[in-house]
Structure 1
C-alpha cells in the first residue's frame, strides 16, 4: 500500500514539474495578428450609350463602310465617332470605330505601296495619323514604306490625264497669285462645261481650301463635286451623269 501511494506521489510530482516547465513556453507564444480583409474593388460603372450616341456611331459605321473616312465635310466617319465620344468618352464602339479608320488607311497605304504609288501611300499614312498620331502600327508601316522607297527605282512624275488640272503642291494654302490664277482657270472651265469638280488633295483641309478658292473664283456659279484624298493635288473635270 505504501508503495502504491509513493508511486502516485511520484507521478503527480512529475506531472506538476512538467506543467510548470511547459506553462512558460506556451505563455511566451505570440498570437499571429489576423490579416486585414482584402479591400473590395468596386467595378467601374459602365456608361451606356444614349440614343444620340448610338445614332452617331451608326452613321460612323455606315460612312466607314463607304470609305468616307475624313471627307466629305460633316458626313464622314471620323467626325461621327468623335462626336459620339464627346457625348460618351467611354464608348467602346466609338473608340473601335476610330481604330477602324486607322486600319482602313493603313490598308490603303499598303495597297498603294504595292502598286508603287508611294505618294499616295504616304498620304494615306498621314491621314491615319490625323486619327491616332501615336499608333504604333502606323509607325511600323511608315518605316517599311521608307525602306521600300529607298530601294525603288525613280518614278516619272505624274503628268495628269485628260480633263485633269495639276496644282503646285508647295503653293496650296497660300494666297499666291500663281496658284490663285490656276484655280480661277479651272473654275472658269467648270462653269463653261458645267462639269463636276473632283478634287484630289493630300489632306481634307487642303481639299476644302481648293474647293473654297474655286467658289471664290466664280461667285455667280455653284461649284459641284467631291473631295478625294490622294496625290498629286489636282482637279478632275467629270461630266454630270445623265
Structure 2
C-alpha cells in the first residue's frame, strides 16, 4: 500500500529536475540567439529634394558632405554663411603707363634692329614719338632719341669712308628729323663738307695730271670736271661741249659715269649728252656726289677726250 501511494510522488520528483533542466537550456539558447543578432541601426531620415529645389542651383549656405563609397551623402545643416559676390571690375588706372612701357620696349627692339626711322609705323622714332605725345618730358624717350642721332653719326662716318656722300647726306637728314637741336648735327655737316672738298681735290688732281701715253692700248678712266656755276645755269657752251664728249665716247665704245650733287643737275647732264645721237642711247650711269664731273672709261693709247676750257 505504501509503495503504491508513493509511486506517483516518485515520478513527480523525477519530472521536476528534468523540467528545470529544459528551462535552463532554453533560456541559455535564447540569450545566445539574441546576442548573435545583427545590431539594430537607426535609419537616417534624409529629406528628398523637391522638384523646385532640383531646378535651382545650390545655394552658397548649403554644405554637402562628399560622397562615400557606401551609403547616402549626409546633408549638413545651414550654418548661416552669406553669399560672397566677386568684386566689380574697375577700370585700370595704369593703362597709360602700360602703353608707354610697351612703346618704349618696341622702340628699344627696333633700335637694336637698326630700324631707326624706317620702315613706316614700325621704327624706333615712331614709337618714341607716341611716348612723347603722352608724356612730353619722358626721360627715357628723350635719351633714346639722342641714341638714334648718335647711331646716325656712326653710320654717316661709315658711309663717308666708302665715298658714299649721298648716303651720308640721307643719314644727316634723318638725324635732323629725330632731334633738330642735337649738338652732333653740326659735326655731321662738317664731316660731309670736308669729305666733299677732299674728294674734289682728289678728282682735280687726277684731271690735272693726265695719264701718260702707252705703246699699246690700255684701259683709261678720264675724269672731266663740269663747272658747277655753268651747270646750274644750263649754259649752252657747256651743253655743246657735253655733246662733243658724248660723240667721242660713242666712237671709242666707252662707258660713262655722270656725277653731280643734285637730281636736276644729273638729269640735265644725262639728257644733254644723250641728245648727241637721237638714234642711240649713251652708255652711262649716274651718281650723286661732288664735284660734278663726267667719268669716261675706254681703251686707247692716250687720253682722247678734251677737257672743258672755261
Q: TM-score, normalised by structure 1?
A: 0.46
Q: TM-score, normalised by structure 2?
A: 0.37
Bigger Cα Rg = 2
If asked which structure has higher relative contact order (CA below 8 Å, sep 6+), I would say 1
